[in-house]
C-alpha cells in the first residue's frame, strides 16, 4: 500500500460526535441518521475510442453497477474525453449518439459469415472466425508469396493481400500491426487514420 | 487565425485547445461558496451547521475584498521555486504575515452573534488569544495535524489562513504556474486537495484538483487516482438514493476510489451544476464519506472547515 507522506483523513460515523460539527455546537445525530437511508452504489468511468470514423475521438463511458458482484454493469452515458488531444471533449452528432448504438437491438455482437454462393449470414464462433481468416490468409500467401525477384534478389514479398490498420490504435498496437504484417511479407499496408 | 483567438468566449467546446495547467483563485470565490452553502443548507439534515459555514464564508469574502498588500516571495525565490518545480508559497515554510491573525479576530467577532451558545466563549477566546498560541494552531492546520481536542477552533484558524493564502495565490506574481512533478499537491502552496472539480464552461469536462488552503486549481487527467497516480483500479461510489431518483443521470458528487492505494477523494461535477463548490458540496455530503469509510477507503485530502473527531473515542 502506498501511503501519502502526510497520511490519510478518516471521516467516519464513530468520529462524528467528536468532530468540529459537534464541538462547535451543532447536532451530529441528523447526519448519522441520514447515513442509514443510503447505500453505496458502484460506478465507473472508462476511456474508450469512438468506433465510427478515422478521426477516432476519445470517449468517456459512464456505467453503473458492480462488475464483481454478478450485477451487470449498465452503460448510461457516453461523452467526449476532455483529456484526449484529438477531440478535447467534443464529439460530432454521430459520436454523441454512441449510447444508442451500445444499446441497439440491431447491434452485431458476434461474428457471422456469408458462404460463397449463399445469400444468408450464418453465426459462427470467434474461434471459427479466426481459423477461417488464418486459413484464407495462409492459402493466399502460399499461392502468391514472392521470395525472389526477376534479378534473383531475395525480396520475400506477399503482394496479393493488403492490411488496413486501425485508426483507433495507439502507438503500441500500431507498432505491433506493422511488425506482424511486415514479418509476413505484406507490403500494401495503410491505416484508416490517413483516410 | 490561431484556434485561441477564433474561439467564441464562453463556448463549451474548444477542440485542440489545451486546458491551462493551473487556475488561480477567482476574486468572488468565497461569495460563490457562501451562496452555495446557503442553498445546500435549505432542507439539509445538518442545515444549521451549513448555514453557519455560509456566514463564515461570507466573512471570508469580505476579508478577501479588503485584503491589505502583504509581502510576497521575491523574484529570486520565485525563480528558484520554478526551477526546482517547488510550490512558491509553501504552507509549511512560508513566513506567515500577522495579517492572518487579524482575519481570525474579525471572523471570530463577526461570527459570535450567529454562533451556538456553547461556541461563543471559544470564539471570544480566539479573538483575544496570544499570538504564540494562534501560530501553534496555524502550524498544526498547515501540517494537517488535526487534534480532535481543538476541533471547535481549528476550522476558524483554517478559514483565516485560507483568506491570507487565497489572496496571495491570486496575485499576478503567481499567474501561469506550471504543474509540479507530483500530481497530488498544490503547485502554489503544496497543500493537499480538498476535492476534484469537473469544470464547466470553456474547458468543460476537464478535472482539476482544488487546493484545501489557497483555492488554486490544477489539472489532472480524469479517471486517475490523485493520491498514488495509478489509473487501472479507479472506480466511483455514489449514494444509492441518488441513483434511485435519477439513475440515468450522473450525480453531483462522487467518491473516486482507488483499489491500489485504498484511498478516495470526492469529485464535484461542476459541468452538471455550475454552482457546485468543492468545499461546500463536500461538507453537504458527509454521508458519502461515512459510507466510503465503512467500505474500507481512507480519504486522501482534508477539508479544514470540518475537523473529524477521534474514531476511537
What is the per-residue pLDDT across A94-123, written as a single tens digit (0 to 9) for each? 999 999 999 999 999 999 999 999 999 999
| CB-based burial label for B74 (10 Å; 0-12, 13-18, 19+) | exposed
Rounded Cα–Cα distance for residues B254 and B251 (Å): 7
**Whole-prediction pTM value?**
0.89
Looking at CA atoms only, how far is residue B148 from chain A in angstroms?
7
Does residue A41 surpass a pLDDT of 60? yes
Q: What is the CATH number of the domain that holds A87?
A: 2.20.25.90
Among B255, B247, B268, B235, CA closest to B298: B255
pLDDT at residue number B7 = 40
Least confident of A67-71, A82-86, A181-185, B245-249: B245-249
Superfamily (CATH) of domain B193-299:
FdhE-like domain (3.90.1670.10)
Here the cell at position B128 is 483575544
Close Cβ partners of B247 (under 8 Å, ≥ 6 residues apart):
A64, A76
Let me know if residue A72 belongs to a domain: yes
CB-side neighbour CA atoms (13 Å) of A2: 14
**A2 vs B293: CB contact, 8 Å cut-off?**
no
State whether A120 and A174 are in the same domain. yes
Q: Is B181 on the interface with A (CB under 8 A)?
A: no
pLDDT at residue number B311 = 74
State whether A66 and A84 are in the same domain. yes
How far, in Å, are A53, A148, A150, A180 from residue A187 at the CA level? 24, 15, 18, 11
If you measure CA to CA, which chain B residue comes closest to A9? B299
Let me know if residue A107 belongs to a domain: no
User: What is the per-residue pLDDT across B164-197, written as a single tens digit (0 to 9) for each?
Assistant: 999 999 999 898 898 898 889 999 999 999 999 9
Does residue B282 surpass a pLDDT of 80? yes
If you measure CA to CA, which chain B residue comes closest to A44? B235
Rounded Cα–Cα distance for residues B296 and B23 (Å): 33
Contacts of A8 in chain B (CB under 8 A): 263, 298-300
pLDDT at residue number B247 = 43
Average pLDDT, chain A: 90
Q: Count the neighbouring beta carbons within 10 Å of the beta carbon of residue B201.
A: 12
CATH 3.90.1670.10 fits B22-174, yes or no: yes
Range of the domain at A5: 1-38
Does residue B245 surpass a pLDDT of 80? no
Rounded Cα–Cα distance for residues A58 and A82 (Å): 8
Q: Count the neighbouring beta carbons within 10 Å of the beta carbon of residue A52.
A: 16
State whether A134 and A174 are in the same domain. yes
If you measure CA to CA, which chain B residue comes closest to A61? B223
Close Cβ partners of B193 (under 8 Å, ≥ 6 residues apart):
B184, B185, B186, B209, B210, B211, B212, B226, B265, B301
Let me know if residue A78 belongs to a domain: yes
Same fold, B22-174 and B193-299: yes
Looking at CA atoms only, how far is residue B191 from chain A in angstroms?
10
Q: Number of Cβ pairs closer than 8 Å across A and B?
A: 209
**B15 vs A17: CB contact, 8 Å cut-off?**
no
At A70, the pLDDT band (50, 70, 90 cuts) reads low
pLDDT above 90 covers a percentage of chain B that reads: 81
| CB-based burial label for B311 (10 Å; 0-12, 13-18, 19+) | middle
- What is the rounded average pLDDT of the residues A126-145? 97
Amino acid at each position: 500500500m502506498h501511503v501519502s507522506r502526510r497520511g490519510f483523513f478518516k471521516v467516519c460515523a464513530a468520529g462524528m460526535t467528536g468532530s468540529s460539527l459537534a464541538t462547535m455546537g451543532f447536532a451530529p445525530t441528523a447526519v448519522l441518521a441520514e447515513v442509514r437511508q443510503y447505500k453505496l452504489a458502484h460506478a465507473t468511468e472508462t476511456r474508450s475510442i469512438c468506433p465510427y470514423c478515422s478521426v477516432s475521438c476519445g470517449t468517456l463511458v459512464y456505467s453503473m453497477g458492480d462488475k464483481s458482484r454478478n450485477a451487470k454493469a449498465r452503460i448510461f452515458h457516453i461523452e467526449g474525453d476532455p483529456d484526449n488531444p484529438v477531440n478535447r471533449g467534443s464529439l460530432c452528432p454521430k459520436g454523441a449518439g454512441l449510447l444508442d448504438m451500445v444499446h441497439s437491438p440491431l447491434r452485431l455482437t458476434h461474428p457471422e459469415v456469408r458462404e460463397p454462393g449463399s445469400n444468408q449470414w450464418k453465426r459462427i464462433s470467434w474461434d471459427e472466425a479466426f481459423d477461417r481468416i488464418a486459413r484464407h490468409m495462409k492459402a493466399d500467401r502460399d499461392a502468391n508469396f514472392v521470395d525472389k525477384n526477376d534479378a534473383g534478389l531475395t525480396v520475400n514479398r506477399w503482394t496479393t493481400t493488403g492490411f488496413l490498420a486501425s485508426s483507433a490504435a495507439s502507438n503500441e498496437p500500431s507498432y505491433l500491426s506493422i511488425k506482424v504484417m511486415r514479418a509476413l511479407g505484406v507490403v500494401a499496408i495503410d491505416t484508416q487514420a490517413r483516410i | 487565425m490561431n484556434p485561441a483567438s477564433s474561439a467564441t468566449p464562453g463556448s463549451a467546446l474548444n477542440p485542440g485547445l489545451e486546458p491551462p495547467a493551473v487556475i488561480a483563485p477567482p476574486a468572488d470565490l468565497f461569495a460563490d461558496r457562501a451562496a452555495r452553502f446557503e442553498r445546500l443548507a435549505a432542507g439539509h439534515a445538518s442545515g444549521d451547521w451549513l448555514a453557519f459555514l455560509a456566514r463564515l464564508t461570507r466573512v471570508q469574502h469580505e476579508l478577501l475584498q479588503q485584503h491589505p498588500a502583504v509581502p510576497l516571495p521575491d523574484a529570486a525565490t520565485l525563480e528558484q521555486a520554478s526551477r526546482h518545480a517547488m510550490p512558491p508559497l509553501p504552507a509549511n515554510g512560508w513566513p506567515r504575515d500577522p495579517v492572518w491573525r487579524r482575519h481570525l479576530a474579525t471572523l471570530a467577532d463577526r461570527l459570535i452573534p450567529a454562533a451556538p451558545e456553547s461556541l461563543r466563549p471559544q470564539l471570544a477566546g480566539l479573538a483575544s488569544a496570544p499570538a504564540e498560541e494562534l501560530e501553534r494552531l496555524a502550524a498544526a492546520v498547515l501540517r494537517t495535524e488535526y487534534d480532535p481536542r481543538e476541533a471547535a477552533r481549528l476550522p476558524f484558524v483554517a478559514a483565516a489562513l485560507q483568506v491570507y493564502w487565497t489572496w496571495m495565490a491570486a496575485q499576478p506574481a503567481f499567474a501561469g504556474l506550471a504543474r509540479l512533478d507530483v500530481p497530488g499537491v498544490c503547485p502554489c502552496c503544496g497543500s493537499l486537495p480538498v476535492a476534484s472539480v469537473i469544470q464547466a464552461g470553456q474547458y468543460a469536462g476537464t478535472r482539476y484538483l482544488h487546493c484545501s488552503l489557497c483555492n488554486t486549481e490544477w489539472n489532472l487527467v480524469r479517471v486517475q487516482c490523485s493520491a498514488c497516480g495509478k489509473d487501472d483500479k479507479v472506480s466511483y461510489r455514489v449514494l444509492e438514493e441518488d441513483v434511485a431518483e435519477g439513475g440515468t443521470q450522473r450525480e453531483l458528487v462522487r467518491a473516486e476510489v482507488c483499489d491500489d492505494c485504498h484511498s478516495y477523494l470526492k469529485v464535484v461535477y461542476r459541468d452538471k451544476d455550475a454552482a457546485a463548490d468543492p468545499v461546500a458540496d463536500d461538507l453537504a455530503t458527509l454521508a458519502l464519506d461515512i459510507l466510503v469509510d465503512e467500505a474500507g477507503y481512507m480519504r486522501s485530502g482534508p477539508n479544514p472547515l470540518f475537523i473529524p473527531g477521534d474514531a476511537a473515542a
